[in-house]
Amino acid sequence: MYRKILLAYDGSEGAKKALVAGINLAKVHQAQLWVLAVQERLPRFSGTIDEVQEEKALADEQYGRLLQEAQARAQAGGVELKTLMRPGHPAQTIVAVAKEGKFDLVLVGHTGLSGVWAAFLGTTAEKVSRHAPCSVLIVR
């Protein structure tokens, strides 16, 4: 039933569980599995371009490593994984990518790395489930 699955991945425990679920779902449905890493907390209102460039380079490296790990796991599970990396607000970016790529399922872990703030502001998973253009599976 699902042909194109988007997994939001930040390397947290919740995201790792979602990755396992994603690999299984992709196998069952013979679906494409895409993983999206959102680079949050790049410096806004910056004083120098250098600051943004340095932080972006660091984020590229960190999130690139996370995506490589996810790719290795998927490969071990017999699934081909396509990766995406975007800077921005996590929930907004996940929803935007789901719309742009016409995904039919979004997978998110129950709590991501922004868990402390989630208690006050709502989790990324909650926001994605409210605004996504397709079905959302929150993996616990």
Partner 1 sequence: MEQVWYTAAAWIGLALLASLISIRIGISVALVEIFLGFIAGNWGAHLGSAIFQPNAWINFLAGFGSVVLTFLAGAEIEPESFRRQLKPTLAIGLVSFLFPFLGAMAYAYYVSGWNLQAAQIAGIALSTTSMAVVYAVMVETGLNNTDLGKLILSACFITDLGTVLALGLIFAQYDYWLLIFVVITATALVFLPRLSRWFFAKWSGRVSEPEIKFIFLVLCVLGALAVTARSEAVLPAYLFGMVIAGLFVHDKALIHRMRAIVFAMLTPFFFIKAGTLVSLPALIAGFGLLVALFSVKMIAKIIAVWPMCRIFKMPLRESNYTTLLMATGLTFGSISALFGLNYGYINQAQYSILVTVVIASAVIPTVIAQVFFQPREVSLKRQAEFVYCGTAEHFLHMPEDE
Binding residues for partner 1, rule: CB under 8 A, are 1-4, 32, 40-52, 54, 56, 84, 87-88, 96, 99-104, 132-135
Tell me the closest approach of the beta carbon of residue 48 to partner 1, in angstroms.
5
DSSP 23: H
- Per the CB < 8 A criterion, the answer to whether 5 and 36 are in contact is no
Cβ 33 to partner 1 shortest distance, Å: 12
Q: How far is the CB of 89 from partner 1 (least distance, A)?
A: 9
Tokens 């380079």 found at = 57
CB 19 to partner 1: min, Å: 20
Nearer to partner 1, 77 or 87 (CB): 87
Of the chain, the end-to-end C-alpha distance in Å amounts to 22
Between residues 39 and 111, which has the closer beta carbon with respect to partner 1?
A: 39
Give 90's Cβ-side CA count (13 Å radius): 26
- In contact, 3 and 29? CB cutoff 8 Å: yes
